Amino acid sequence: MEPIGIIESCFKDKFGTPRQPGLVKKSWARLRLRGDLQPEESLQGLEGFSHVWLIWLFHQNKVARFHSKVHPPRLGGQSMGLFATRTPHRPNPIGLSLVELVAVEKDGIVVAGADLVDGTPILDIKPYLPEVEAIPTARSGWPQDAKSIEIRVEFSAKAEALLQNWQNQHPDKALREIIVDTLKLDPRPVVYRGFEEETSPYRSEHAVRLFNGDVHFKFVSAHLVTVFDILFIHN
Ligand SMILES: C[S@@+](CC[C@H](N)C(=O)[O-])C[C@H]1O[C@@H](n2cnc3c(N)ncnc32)[C@H](O)[C@@H]1O
């Protein structure tokens, strides 16, 4: 199989990329198709659909290994069979994401809500068929207590000013919403959780790279995160 194209995504690193599609609703990604696939013809009719499935490769997996049982971070130490999870480490490292189709362009598509890192090879696009694929009575095998806690995001005066300026340069991107929704998911590695008090020696600061900006943040309590700086990368 050959990828049909490589995705450009607002998530520049795996760190901060949401764990599933739709969690950061306004996240931005564009796929330009290979020219030999004749995008102007092969995409014809897709514009009628609101959502599409993307089938893709976990190309940033560092090891090709997989384990039959995995510990999903949200299950707090509990393990599950790999096929009961969406772990990237699978016998065939193929990802599947249901995303909103924002635009069909001459040479590709723009989508919102993707959970893919920039540079991900895409194997296929398929239209989402609500009449057969939406199952209101479906149940999830994940424990109910896996629900995450509500987190609030605030910006320091400095970060607010930087965001305003950044937004003026990119009026078509929902920067604030992307930042807020990304941080609400608490992208910190699990080991950093629980050390938010000011006096804790393990209190940590992190940054997520979104578009051309490194968004620096720290958790000031388990429920409140502060964005305190945004540093821009100039290519
Ligand atoms: C848990 S997987 C779920 C992906 C997809 N929705 C699925 O179910 O197959 C999502 C995570 O994969 C990671 N990821 C995204 N793009 C990737 C890539 N190209 N290579 C490796 N890991 C990637 C990110 O850390 C993201 O949080």
Q: Is residue 138 part of a domain?
A: no
Predicted pLDDT of residue 35? 98
Helix (H) or strand (E) holding 167: helix 157-169
CATH code of the domain containing 127: 2.40.30.70
- How far does the centroid of ligand 1 lie from the alpha carbon of residue 162, in Å? 29
Residues 160, 102 within the same domain: no
CB 60 near ligand 1, within 6 Å: yes
- pLDDT tens digits for 144-192? 765 568 999 999 999 999 999 999 999 999 999 999 999 999 999 888 8
Q: At 204, give phi and psi (nearest 5°).
A: -125, 155
User: What atom in ligand 1 is closest to the CA of residue 120?
Assistant: 19
User: Is residue 230 pLDDT above 90, yes or no?
Assistant: yes
Q: Final residue of a domain: which of 133, 155, 186?
A: 133
* Beta bridge mates, 52: 99, 127
Number of separate domains in the chain:
2
Predicted pLDDT of residue 111? 98
Q: Rounded to 5 degrees, what angle do the CA atoms 204, 191, 19 make?
A: 95
User: What atom in ligand 1 is closest to the CA of residue 14?
Assistant: 25
CB 58 near ligand 1, within 6 Å: yes
Residues with Cβ < 8 Å from 110, sequence gap 6 or more?
Answer: 28, 29, 30, 101, 102, 103
Helix (H) or strand (E) holding 178: helix 175-184
CB 90 near ligand 1, within 6 Å: no
Predicted pLDDT of residue 145? 62
CB 27 near ligand 1, within 6 Å: no
User: 35 lies in which domain range?
Assistant: 5-133
Helix/strand/coil for 6:
strand
CB 182 near ligand 1, within 6 Å: no
Please name the residue whose Cα sits nearest to atom 15 of ligand 1: 116
Residues 74, 155 within the same domain: no
